[in-house]
């Protein structure tokens, strides 16, 4: 009997030791990243539903047992596991996981992972946008999304290029995609959005987008998500950009005035008949062209051999129309934004000023933008938020003619090199008006013949 009592006593002592060993302890600590504290980090006891998250100061507190494993998870950061030992304080520093960030896809009603998204989508993030200095953010998609065509319809500063996602499905219909900015259909001009305010752009390209947005998504969908504040810290960013606008490819060579006269002499000679067609062509070629920019008589510009008179020297000025057409433009962009937030709110504010001169004189685009994004947690189950974007812009360009835009490039390419921009007298000097400015030659013939 005594032996039985002894064994029972030993059994109770052993069970008590097990219970004591499994007794829960309170574990706490702080979660940070290289830039500071991280609020809202998920802390979970592995294999259980017991969990919590870090507060506004990045501090967590959880009850667990020695030997349990704590799992720390936060969107965009690598997951870390820590075993509870003898210490009741476990501090953790998380590192960013860029591969996870790239897998986030914005859809119609929130976000999902690229692995879980069944449609076809391309994501262009803020880092990719920062590499392209463009006025309209849609231009930054070029070369970043497969199967997407960018069509530049105008070189006017501030103009937005067209985008074709699914190809042209009809000759008369529009191929313009549906634009969604922060969950709201956007009907305005894309050049009113500051590129540095954009967090990401998602391009939905197949029928899956129709399931999200209906028939409006027939030409594809471009989802633009702007930046928001960050809980627990304040960040101020300022950037300024300065650039030059000029030709990327030099213009091809043109026939100079002497070459042009020789070519036109040959063409006119070939249209004539008779033995004297060379002499007739030399005597009459000026009458067909109407301008003589050389210092020789009108009937002695081209000889009967079809060559320019060796004594002919060019005296007219302003024969290069491109000199009066193009310029080296400048582009200046100043932008400042503030991202901040507290335990129950996030705020993002930005303002920018853009001034861009085009390659063509008189072409210019000025823009001022201001954006405010705010989110507030009213309680655990209710959050409210909103955004406002104010943009003021002014655009200048070549004058319109009817319903079409005058194309100065086409005019400069097609006009012969013997016709001047401004009036020249018989000695090749520019004829000035009363204010001392050169007068445009309106194409009424050689002005030197009409001088009184």
- CATH label of the domain that carries residue 32: 2.60.40.1120
Q: With pLDDT > 70 as the criterion, what percentage of the chain qualifies?
A: 82
Residues 107 and 134 in one domain: yes
* 302 located within any domain: yes
Query: 137 lies in which domain range?
Result: 100-226
Residues 115 and 205 in one domain: yes
Q: With pLDDT > 90 as the criterion, what percentage of the chain qualifies?
A: 35
pLDDT band for position 143 (50/70/90)? confident
Residues 164 and 84 in one domain: no
Q: Is the pLDDT of residue 428 over 70?
A: yes
Q: What is the predicted pLDDT for the residue at 222? A: 86
Burial class (CB in 10 A: 0-12, 13-18, 19+), 69: middle
Q: What is the predicted pLDDT for the residue at 110? A: 52
The CATH number covering residue 216 comes to 2.170.130.10
pTM of the model: 0.63
pLDDT band for position 309 (50/70/90)? very high
* 313 located within any domain: yes
Could you say which of 78, 97, 116 is where a domain stops? 97
Residues 92 and 57 in one domain: yes
* 351 located within any domain: no
pLDDT tens for residues 150-188?
777 677 888 888 788 766 666 666 778 888 888 888 888
Residues 79 and 66 in one domain: yes
Q: ∠ at Cα 267 (261, 273), nearest 5°?
A: 125
Average of per-residue pLDDT values in the chain: 82
- Which is more confidently placed, 18 or 238? 238
Strands 149-151 and 162-164: antiparallel
pLDDT tens for residues 40-62?
899 999 988 888 989 888 899 99
* 16 located within any domain: no
Residues 186 and 277 in one domain: no
Residues 194 and 130 in one domain: yes
* 316 located within any domain: yes
Q: What is the predicted pLDDT for the residue at 23? A: 64
Domain count along the chain? 3
d(CA 127, CA 140): 11
Q: What is the predicted pLDDT for the residue at 396? A: 86
d(CA 392, CA 352): 11
Residues 201 and 274 in one domain: no
* 377 located within any domain: no
* 112 located within any domain: yes
pLDDT band for position 16 (50/70/90)? very low
Q: Is the pLDDT of residue 118 over 80?
A: no
pLDDT band for position 119 (50/70/90)? low
Q: What is the predicted pLDDT for the residue at 148? A: 79
d(CA 316, CA 446): 11
Residues 85 and 105 in one domain: no
d(CA 326, CA 313): 27
pLDDT band for position 124 (50/70/90)? confident
pLDDT tens for residues 354-408?
999 988 888 899 999 999 999 998 887 888 988 899 999 998 877 655 444 467 7
Mean pLDDT along residues 292-311: 94
Residues 203 and 282 in one domain: no
Q: Is the pLDDT of residue 9 over 80?
A: no
d(CA 443, CA 156): 28
* 234 located within any domain: no
Could you say which of 97, 132, 160 is where a domain stops? 97
Nearest partner of 226 among 369, 32, 122, judged by Cα: 369
Q: ∠ at Cα 425 (424, 427), nearest 5°?
A: 110
d(CA 235, CA 200): 19
Residues 219 and 170 in one domain: yes
**Cα dist from 343 to 55, 66, 328, 338, whole Å:** 8, 31, 50, 17
Residues 49 and 88 in one domain: yes
Q: What is the predicted pLDDT for the residue at 13? A: 45
Could you say which of 97, 132, 147 is where a domain stops? 97
């Amino acid at each position: 009997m005594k032996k039985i009592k002894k064994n029972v006593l030993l059994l109770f002592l052993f069970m008590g030791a097990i219970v004591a060993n499994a007794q829960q302890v309170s574990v706490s600590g702080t979660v940070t990243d290289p830039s500071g504290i991280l609020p809202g980090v998920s802390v979970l006891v592995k294999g259980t539903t017991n969990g919590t998250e870090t507060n506004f100061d990045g501090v967590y507190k959880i009850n667990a047992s020695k030997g349990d494993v704590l799992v720390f998870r936060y969107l965009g950061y690598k997951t870390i596991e820590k075993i509870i030992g003898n210490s009741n304080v476990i501090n953790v520093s998380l590192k960013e996981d860029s591969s996870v960030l790239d897998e986030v896809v914005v859809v119609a009603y929130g976000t999902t992972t690229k692995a879980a998204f069944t449609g076809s989508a391309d994501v262009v993030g803020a880092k990719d946008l920062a590499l392209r200095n463009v006025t309209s953010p849609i231009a930054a998609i070029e070369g970043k999304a497969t199967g997407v065509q960018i069509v530049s319809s105008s070189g006017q500063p501030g103009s937005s290029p067209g985008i074709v996602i699914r190809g042209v499905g009809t000759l008369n219909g529009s191929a313009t995609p549906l634009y969604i900015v922060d969950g709201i259909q956007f009907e305005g001009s894309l050049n009113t959005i500051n590129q540095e305010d954009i967090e990401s752009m998602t391009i939905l390209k197949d029928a899956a987008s129709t399931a999200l947005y209906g028939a409006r998504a027939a030409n594809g969908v471009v989802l633009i998500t702007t930046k928001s504040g960050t809980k627990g810290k304040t960040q101020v960013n300022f950037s300024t950009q300065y650039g030059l606008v000029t030709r990327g490819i030099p213009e091809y060579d043109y026939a100079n005035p002497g070459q042009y006269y020789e070519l036109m002499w040959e063409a006119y000679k070939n249209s004539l008949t008779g033995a004297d067609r060379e002499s007739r062509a030399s005597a009459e070629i000026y009458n067909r062209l109407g301008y003589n920019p050389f210092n020789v008589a009108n009937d002695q510009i081209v000889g009967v051999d079809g060559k320019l008179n060796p004594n002919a020297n060019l005296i007219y000025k302003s024969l290069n129309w491109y000199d009066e057409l193009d310029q080296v433009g400048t582009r200046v962009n100043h932008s400042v934004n503030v991202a901040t937030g507290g335990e129950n709110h996030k705020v993002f504010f930005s303002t920018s000023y853009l001034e861009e001169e085009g390659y063509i004189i008189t072409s210019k685009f000025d823009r001022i933008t201001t954006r405010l994004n705010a989110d507030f947690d009213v309680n655990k189950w209710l959050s409210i938020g909103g955004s406002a974007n104010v943009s003021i812009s002014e655009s200048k360009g070549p004058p319109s003619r009817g319903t079409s835009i005058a194309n100065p490039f086409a005019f400069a390419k097609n006009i012969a090199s013997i016709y001047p921009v401004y009036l020249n007298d018989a000695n090749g000097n520019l004829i000035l008006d009363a204010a001392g400015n050169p007068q445009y030659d309106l194409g009424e013939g050689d002005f030197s013949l009409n001088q009184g």
